[in-house]
Structure 1
Amino acid sequence: MKNKLQIKEKNFLKTKALKIISILEKNYPDAGCSLNYSNPLELFISAILSAQTSDHQVNIVTKRLFTKFNTIEDFINISQKELEKEIHSIGLYRNKAKNIKACCKKIYEEYGGVVPSKMEELLSLPGIGRKIANVILSTWFKKDEGIVVDTHVLRLSQRIGLSNQKYATNVEKDLMDIIPKDKWYIFSHLLIKHGRNICKARNPLCIECNIASLCDFYQKISENFSKKIYLKLK
C-alpha cells in the first residue's frame, strides 16, 4: 500500500508528464511513426530493421526491399544470405535477417500468415520484445497496451526525471503509471522527436529546450554551473 509521500510523488510526476506532453505537442504537431509501410507485414519488418538504426535508413532499404518481396511467403522463401544482401546497409543485418525469416515462418504456420494483433502472440515470435510489439499494436492496430521505449524515450525519461529505472521494461512500467492511456502512443513519439532534435545523447541542446524548466538534468547542470561561477567570484 502506497503511503502519502508516494502518492504525492506520483501525482507530481503525472502533472509534470502532462505539462511536457502539452508543450511538445505544440512543438511537434506531426509526431508519429516515421517508418514507411502500407500493411502490417511491412510495418512488422520495418520495426525489426529499425533497432539501433535510424528510421530514415530503414525507409531507404525497405523502399527497394518491398518492391521485390511483399508477401510473407516471399520472406520465407528468400534465402538468409540473399536477405542479408538486401539489408546489409543496416546495423545487425545478419541477426535481423535471421529473425525476419524465423518470425515469418512462425506467423505463416501458427497465425495463418497474418501478423498477430495480441501482445502475448507478438512476444512469442523470435527476437520480438515489448518495443517492437508496442510499435505494431499502437501504430497498426491502434491498441494501447504499452509505451514504446526506444533509446530516445529511455534517455529522456531518465534525464527529465520521469523514471530512475535503468532498463526499458522498468521505465515503461513507470511511464504507464503516470501517463494517461490515451497519451501513450503520442508520448513516445514526442520524446523520440525531441530526442532526435534537441535532447541528443551527446551535447544536448538545453539552451534551445522549452521543457528545460521541467527537466531534472537541466536543473542539475544549472546548479553546478552556478556553483562554479560563485566559487570563481568568491
Structure 2
Amino acid sequence: MPSLKRSASPRLTRLTARASPYNTSVTLFEAQDTASIPKISDSPRRSKRVKLEAEEPKFTIKEEENRNPTPTEPEASGSGSSTPKKRAAKSPRKPKPIQQSLAVPHPAPENWQETYATIKRMRSQIVAPVDTMGCDQAQYKEAEPKNRRFATLISLMLSSQTKDEVTDAAVSKLRSAIGGSLTVDALINAEDVVIGEAIGKVGFWRRKTEYIKKTAQRLRDDFDSDVPKTVDELCSLPGVGPKMAFLALQVAWNLNVGIGVDVHVHRITNRLGWHKPPTKNPEETRLNLQSWLPIELHPDINHMLVGFGQVMCLPVGPRCDLCDLSANGLCPSAQKVTKTKSRKAVTLTAVKYENDSPPKIEIALEPEETKPILSDFTLQKIEPT
C-alpha cells in the first residue's frame, strides 16, 4: 500500500478507493498521479477548494500601450482586444453668440425724453470720476494706435468691480512695471509677480492677472496683436463680457453696435421705472434699452449714467434732495429727505477770578460748521467755450 504522506514533489496526487480482491469488507486506497486525471476545467463539477488562476496573457509593446491608454483614449472593452477604438477628439466649443435684440421690443417708458434731458443737464454740471479716470482715458498715454486700443481693453478688464480711481492707478502702475507702454508683447513677457504687484489694488487681481496674460496671448496668436472688431470675438477672450465688449468697440474702434450696461446703468434705469417688470441683471437691461432707446443715444448713455450714479444716484443713500428728477416728479423711486435740526454744541469753561473768589462757569455755543453739499465731489458749472 503506498504511503499516505504528502510528497515533497510539486506534482499533485489523489487517493482512489477500491475494494480488496481478497476480502470484500476491506477497502484499499491508492495514490494516483494527476496527470492521468481529467482536467478540472473538463470536469462538470468544480471543487470549491481549488483556486484557478488564469495565466496572464503576454502582450507586445504596442498592445501594452493600448492596455494602458492615455486619458484621451478609452480602455479596451475586452482582454483580447489589441486595437481598441480611439475616442474621437472633441472640437473646441464655440462660444454662444451674444444676443443683439429682443423678439418682442420693450415699450418705451413714459416721459423718458424729459428724464433723459434732465439727467444730461445735471451731468453737464458735475465732474465725476469717470470723466477723468474712466476706461477711455487709458488710451491717451499711448502713441501707437494698437497700443491705445490694447490699453483701453486692459483698463476695461481691470475695472470690473473696482472703482475708477483704483483702476486708473493700476493701469498707470502696470504701464510703468512692464516698460513704459502697454503692448501685447510686453505683457506676455512680463512675470506674473510683476503684473500682480502692479494691479494688486483692483478686485480679484489674481484672476485678472491670469486673464490679461491669456488675452494678450490670444491677441498675438489670433488677432495680429490687435483688439478684435466684433462683439463675439471680444467675448471669446478670457475675462471679457458683453459690457466690456460694447465699450471697447465704442472707445477703441468708434463702433456703435450696442449699449455697455454696468451696475450704475442697471440700477438707475430700474429706479426710474424704465423696465417693466424690473430686470434681474445687466444683460436684460441692455436688451430692453436697445429695443426702444434711439441708436444715436447708445454711445452716450453709459458715460452719462455712470457719472450720475457715482455722484448723485448713489447705491446707498442717493442724494434725492439735490436731484432735479425728484423735484420734478420724474423718479418713482425718489426718497423723501427729512431735515433734522442741527444740535449746537455747548462749551463749559471754568474761569477762576482773583482775590480768592469762587470760580464761575461760562457757557458758550459753538458756531455751526458749514458742510459742503456733496461730501466727495462738488457741483461745477461748465461754461460753454
Aligned to 1:173: 287
Aligned to 1:74: 186
Question: What is the one-letter code of the residue matched to 1:49?
Answer: L
Measure how far apart 1:19 and its partner are: 2.0
Question: What is the one-letter code of the residue matched to 1:43?
Answer: T
Measure how far apart 1:207 and its partner are: 1.1
Measure how far apart 1:183 and its partner are: 0.5
Over alpha carbons, which structure has the higher Rg? 2
- Quick one: distance in 2 between partners of 1:215 and 1:140? 34
Aligned counterpart in structure 2 of residue 91 of structure 1, from 203, 207, 213: 203
Normalised by the size of structure 1, how large is the TM-score? 0.84
Question: What is the one-letter code of the residue matched to 2:163?
Answer: S
Q: Does 1:211 align with 2:325?
A: yes
Q: Is the 8 A contact 1:122 1:133 kept in 2?
A: yes
Q: Does 1:107 align with 2:219?
A: yes
Q: Is the 8 A contact 2:256 2:299 kept in 1?
A: yes
Q: Does 1:191 align with 2:294?
A: no
Aligned to 1:65: 174
Q: RCO higher in 1 or 2 (8 Å CA, sep ≥ 6)?
A: 1
Aligned counterpart in structure 1 of residue 160 of structure 2, from 43, 51, 54: 51
Greater per-residue strand proportion: 2
Normalised by the size of structure 2, how large is the TM-score? 0.52
Distance 1:174 1:25, change over 3 A: same
Aligned to 1:232: none
Q: Is the 8 A contact 2:249 2:256 kept in 1?
A: yes
- Quick one: distance in 2 between partners of 1:42 and 1:206? 36
Measure how far apart 1:157 and its partner are: 1.1
Deviates more, 1:155-164 or 1:31-40: 31-40
Measure how far apart 1:21 and its partner are: 2.2
Aligned length: 213
* Percentage of identical aligned residues: 24
Q: Is the 8 A contact 1:147 1:172 kept in 2?
A: yes
Greater per-residue helix proportion: 1
* Cα offsets for 1:20-68 (capped at 9, x unmatched): 2212222223787623222011110000010111111111121222134
Q: Does 1:147 align with 2:259?
A: yes
Question: What is the one-letter code of the residue matched to 1:135?
Answer: L
Question: What is the one-letter code of the residue matched to 2:331?
Answer: C
- Quick one: distance in 1 between partners of 2:138 and 2:310? 21
Q: How does 1:215-230 map to 2 (within 5 A)?
A: 215-218=331-334, 221=335
Question: What is the one-letter code of the residue matched to 2:114?
Answer: K
Q: What SS is found at the alignment partner of 2:287?
A: helix
Q: Which runs of 5+ in 2 are unaligned?
A: 1-103, 140-147, 339-385
Question: What is the one-letter code of the residue matched to 1:205?
Answer: R
Aligned to 1:28: 123
Deviates more, 1:118-127 or 1:19-28: 19-28
